[in-house]
Amino acid sequence: MTELNGQVVRVRLDFAYDGTDYAGWGIQPGLRTIQGVMEAGLARIVRFGEPPRVIVAGRTDAGVHARGQVAHVDIDVRTWERMPGHSRRTPGQSLVRRLNGVLPADINVVTAEIAAPGFDARFSALGRRYAYRVCDDVRLRDPLTRRYVLWHDPLDVDALSVASSALTGLRDFAPFCRPRDGATTIRELTEFSWERVRSGPDTGLVVAKVEADAFCHSMVRSLVGAVLAVGKGRRDSAWLADVVATQGRSHAVKVALAHGLTLEEVRYPADEDLALRARVTRDKRSLD
Amino acid sequence: MTELNGQVVRVRLDFAYDGTDYAGWGIQPGLRTIQGVMEAGLARIVRFGEPPRVIVAGRTDAGVHARGQVAHVDIDVRTWERMPGHSRRTPGQSLVRRLNGVLPADINVVTAEIAAPGFDARFSALGRRYAYRVCDDVRLRDPLTRRYVLWHDPLDVDALSVASSALTGLRDFAPFCRPRDGATTIRELTEFSWERVRSGPDTGLVVAKVEADAFCHSMVRSLVGAVLAVGKGRRDSAWLADVVATQGRSHAVKVALAHGLTLEEVRYPADEDLALRARVTRDKRSLD
pLDDT in tens, A213-241: 999 989 999 999 999 999 989 999 999 99
Q: Do B106 and A200 touch (CB under 8 A)?
A: no
Within 8 A of B200 by CB-CB distance, chain A residues are 199-201, 203
How far is residue A261's CA from residue A279's CA, in Å, rounded to a whole number?
Answer: 29
Give the pLDDT of residue A48: 72
Averaged pLDDT, B192-208: 94
Identify the DSSP state of B271. Answer: G
Strands B8-17 and A261-267: unpaired
pLDDT, tens digit (0-9, with 9 covering 90-100), for A251-279: 999 999 999 999 999 999 999 989 889 99
Within 8 A of B144 by CB-CB distance, chain A residues are 16, 18, 65, 67, 145, 147-148, 262
Q: What is the CATH number of domain A8-123?
A: 3.30.70.580
Instruction: Quote the pTM value.
Output: 0.90
pLDDT, tens digit (0-9, with 9 covering 90-100), for A165-176: 999 999 999 999
Q: How far is B286 from chain A (nearest CA, A)?
A: 35
Q: What is the CATH number of domain B127-266?
A: 3.30.70.660
**Where residue A3 falls among pLDDT bands split at 50, 70, 90?**
very low
What are the two backbone dihedrals, phi and then psi, of residue A186, each rounded to the nearest 5 degrees? -85, 125
Give the pLDDT of residue A288: 44
Q: Do A18 and B146 touch (CB under 8 A)?
A: yes
Averaged pLDDT, A16-39: 97
- The DSSP string of A128-152 is EEEEEEEE--GGG--GGGTTTSEE-
Give the pLDDT of residue B287: 44
Is-contact B224 B132, C-beta < 8 A?
yes
Give the pLDDT of residue B183: 79
Give the pLDDT of residue B66: 98
Q: Do A141 and B201 touch (CB under 8 A)?
A: no
Averaged pLDDT, B76-99: 93
- Other CB atoms closer than 10 Å to residue A247's CB: what's the count? 8
How far is residue B8's CA from residue B79's CA, in Å, rounded to a whole number?
Answer: 9
Is-contact A105 A57, C-beta < 8 A?
no
How far is residue B43's CA from residue A150's CA, in Å, rounded to a whole number?
Answer: 28
How far is residue B111's CA from residue B12's CA, in Å, rounded to a whole number?
Answer: 8
Q: Do B141 and A96 touch (CB under 8 A)?
A: no
Q: Which residues contact A169 (CB under 8 A, 6 or more apart)?
A: A188, A189
Q: Does residue A192 carry a pLDDT above 60?
A: yes
Averaged pLDDT, B37-54: 88
Q: How far is B4 from chain A (nearest CA, A)?
A: 31
Is-contact B24 B61, C-beta < 8 A?
yes
Is-contact A135 A150, C-beta < 8 A?
yes
pLDDT, tens digit (0-9, with 9 covering 90-100), for A43-91: 999 877 778 899 999 999 999 999 999 999 999 999 999 999 999 999 9
The one-letter amino acid at B7:
Q
Give the pLDDT of residue A226: 97
Q: How far is B97 from chain A (nearest CA, A)?
A: 9
Residue ranges, CATH 3.30.70.580, chain B:
8-123
Averaged pLDDT, A125-130: 97
CB-nearest to A144 from B100, B111, B147 is: B147
How far is residue B112's CA from residue A58's CA, in Å, rounded to a whole number?
Answer: 43
Averaged pLDDT, B173-201: 90
Residue ranges, CATH 3.30.70.660, chain A:
127-266
Averaged pLDDT, B108-127: 96
Q: How far is A285 from chain B (nearest CA, A)?
A: 33
pLDDT, tens digit (0-9, with 9 covering 90-100), for B227-282: 999 998 899 999 999 999 999 899 999 999 999 999 999 999 999 989 888 998 88
User: A77-81, B150-154, B177-181: lowest mean pLDDT where?
Assistant: B177-181
Q: Do A143 and B107 touch (CB under 8 A)?
A: yes
Q: Establish if B100 touches chain A: CB-CB under 8 angstroms.
A: yes
Nearest residue of chain A to residue B149 (CA atoms): A144
- Strands (DSSP E) contained in chain A are 8-17, 55-56, 65-76, 107-114, 127-135, 150-151, 169-172, 186-196, 206-212, 261-267
